Amino acid sequence: MTQILNIRTAPHSAGSAAFTVIYAAEDQAPTGAAAAIWAATGLEWAATSAAGAFRGRPGQALDIIGAGGSRLLVLGSGKPSADAPLNAWTDRGGSLLAKIAATRASMAVVVLDEATATPQAIGELVAGLRLRHYRFDRYKSPRPEDAPPSLTITLKVSDPAAVDLAIADRGATVDGTLLARDLVNEPANVLGPVEFAGRAAELARLGVDVEILEPEALEKLGMGSLLCVAQGSDRPARVVVMQWRGGNPDAAPLAFVGKGVVFDTGGISIKPAGGMEDMKGDMGGAAAVTGLMLALATRKAPVNVVGVIGLVENMPSGSALRPGDIVKAMSGTTIEVINTDAEGRLVLADALWYTQDRFKPRLMINLATLTGAIIVALGHEHAGLFSNNDELAGRLLAAGLNANEKLWRMPLSPAYDKLIESKFADIRNSVGRPAGSITAGQFLQRFVNDVPWAHLDIAGTAFGAPNTEVNTSWAPGFGVALLDRLVRDFYQD
């Protein structure tokens, strides 16, 4: 059963609680508002911390049950430092949630020290609480040992109104990340192209303009590359166009494009059975774009943005695409299909061309669980970044560091581009193992028409990455926080 998490703020003057959490820095008794709470226990600091082997290091905790059953949890905050990066606060929030959850409490009061915890820092802390609290358990039957149905965390702060604003602002981005997680975690029998498009259509309530293109319209546009992937599936393709107009009406939009393969069997070039269930997550790029649109609209970001997602299912059947088939993309480029499992680039070819052709965007960024090869190169720590524009690449790298969704730049060049030439058509969709992620990037670049563009290969980061302080779900919602950060820091009017 999903536990409901309520987060509230209150001034320090609010009454005392049965369960209180305070922080103590390394080798230091609690200070500020926490000092009075500690003093009320009547315990002697040096003796108690020594008895609990508590030195105030991050991750350390001292759990004190008072005579009346009241509970005081002292958490280590490490060496005091005024210039901790913001994402250290997100991690601290994640760790705090885990500590509180382990007590099975249904209510806790956390006292924050105004000396270091700015409203923005507390916004991050709350983001961390919510991100760590997330579970995808809607298909698990309730069990008696489940945690209490709700958990209310009250943050005692010096300026609740300012903190509430910071929590709401950062919370919009969290909402987007959690939507992306839900979409990626959802099994493909529940979330097909039509159902995914339906979830995107719900953004209309936030003021996002949502258009859903059906196969007939895609056919008319000439999207032979995207459509050929869907042709083996009983479930029809969809392209969803989401527009948020929060900026100057004449400003060219930023464009985000997502690979949305709701399930990738590989098609006729079928994948081996081991781990194939993970391919329900092959729509992680589309999920990130949808989550980003939710975040931007929720926080009413002053910027014009368009999100385009290509939704298909890659199945083998009597009507499926074959190796050797030649298809024509919307751009006019002909593509020889060497491997039907290299389907993501076929979807993106038309989604990218359509996006630049219709919207003339200021820049275009696509996200895709595109290649197994990027996992060989970078594991689950960094997503691959490919770009035709150094300024854009630099900004993305910086945003990734700040959001703790890290990127690593990979090369593109004419020598790699040459590899995708085909014997029978203009280009081929698969080349072979060497530089597999780069040749996929070169393929995409054929469809961006010189717009400043970046491709994020998120095959290693969209699902199945190790747990972190802020994520214990299979799907971390990678990309939403990163792109929201990029927009905030560089592109808002």
113 vs 282 by CB, closer to Zn ion:
282
Interaction between residue 371 and ligand BES (CB under 6 A): yes
Q: How far is the CB of 331 from Mn ion (least distance, A)?
A: 21
Q: Which of 135, 271, 328, 406 is catalytic?
A: 271
Interaction between residue 282 and ligand BES (CB under 6 A): yes
Interaction between residue 282 and Zn ion (CB under 5 A): yes
Interaction between residue 341 and Mn ion (CB under 5 A): yes
175 vs 341 by CB, closer to Mn ion:
341
**Contact yes or no for 233/319 (Cβ under 8 A):** no
Q: Which of residues 234-273 bind Mn ion (CB under 5 A)?
A: 264
Q: Phi, psi at residue 468, to the nearest 5°?
A: -130, 180
CA dist., res. 440 & res. 258, Å (int): 15
Q: Is 428 a catalytic residue?
A: no
Q: Tokens representing 144?
A: 């008696």
Q: How far is the CB of 373 from ligand BES (least distance, A)?
A: 6
Q: How far is the CB of 434 from ligand BES (least distance, A)?
A: 11
What is each CA distance from 113 to 62, 80, 91, 170, in whole angstroms?
A: 18, 11, 17, 20
Residue 416-455 contact track with ligand BES, rule CB under 6 A, x = bound: --------------x-----x-------------------
Q: Which of 238, 345, 428, 485 is catalytic?
A: 345
Interaction between residue 313 and Zn ion (CB under 5 A): no
Q: How far is the CB of 222 from Zn ion (least distance, A)?
A: 23
User: Total number of residues binding Mn ion (CB under 5 A)?
Assistant: 3
Residue 491: CB atoms within 10 Å? 19
Q: How far is the CB of 314 from Mn ion (least distance, A)?
A: 6
317 vs 492 by CB, closer to Mn ion:
317
Beta strands in 163-318 (DSSP E): 209-213, 238-245, 254-264, 304-314
**Contact yes or no for 384/456 (Cβ under 8 A):** yes
**Encoded amino acid at 166, one letter:** A
344 vs 477 by CB, closer to Zn ion:
344
342 vs 363 by CB, closer to ligand BES:
342
Interaction between residue 264 and Zn ion (CB under 5 A): yes
CA dist., res. 493 & res. 491, Å (int): 6
CA dist., res. 310 & res. 285, Å (int): 10
Interaction between residue 239 and ligand BES (CB under 6 A): no
Interaction between residue 193 and Zn ion (CB under 5 A): no
Interaction between residue 124 and Mn ion (CB under 5 A): no
Residue 337-376 contact track with Zn ion, rule CB under 5 A, x = bound: -------x--------------------------------
Q: How far is the CB of 351 from Mn ion (least distance, A)?
A: 16
Rule CB under 6 A: choose which of 184, 191, 287, 373 binds ligand BES: 373
* Binding window for ligand BES (CB under 6 A); candidates: 11-19, 29-37, 302-310, 369-377: 369-377
Residue 248: CB atoms within 10 Å? 11
CA dist., res. 312 & res. 283, Å (int): 9
* Residue whose C-alpha is closest to residue 225's, from 212, 239, 211, 235: 239
Helix (H, G, I), strand (E, B) or coil at 263: strand
Collect contacts of 352-355 with beta carbons under 8 A, ≥24 apart. 352/257, 352/444, 352/447, 352/448, 352/453, 353/329, 353/447, 353/448, 353/449, 354/221, 354/223, 354/239, 354/308, 354/330, 355/255, 355/257, 355/306, 355/308
What is each CA distance from 358 to 95, 240, 306, 350, in whole angstroms?
A: 45, 14, 11, 12
Interaction between residue 487 and ligand BES (CB under 6 A): no
Q: Phi, psi at residue 143, to the nearest 5°?
A: -130, 150
Q: Is 205 a catalytic residue?
A: no
Q: Tokens representing 345?
A: 């680039």
Q: How far is the CB of 307 from ligand BES (least distance, A)?
A: 20
CA dist., res. 241 & res. 38, Å (int): 55
Residue 68: CB atoms within 10 Å? 6
Interaction between residue 344 and ligand BES (CB under 6 A): yes
* Binding window for ligand BES (CB under 6 A); candidates: 162-170, 317-325, 342-350, 469-477: 342-350
User: Total number of residues binding ligand BES (CB under 6 A)?
Assistant: 15
Q: How far is the CB of 430 from ligand BES (least distance, A)?
A: 4
> Where does this chain bind ligand BES (CB under 6 A)?
264, 282, 339, 341-344, 369-373, 430, 436, 459
> What positions carry a catalytic annotation?
271, 345
> Where does this chain bind Mn ion (CB under 5 A)?
264, 341, 343
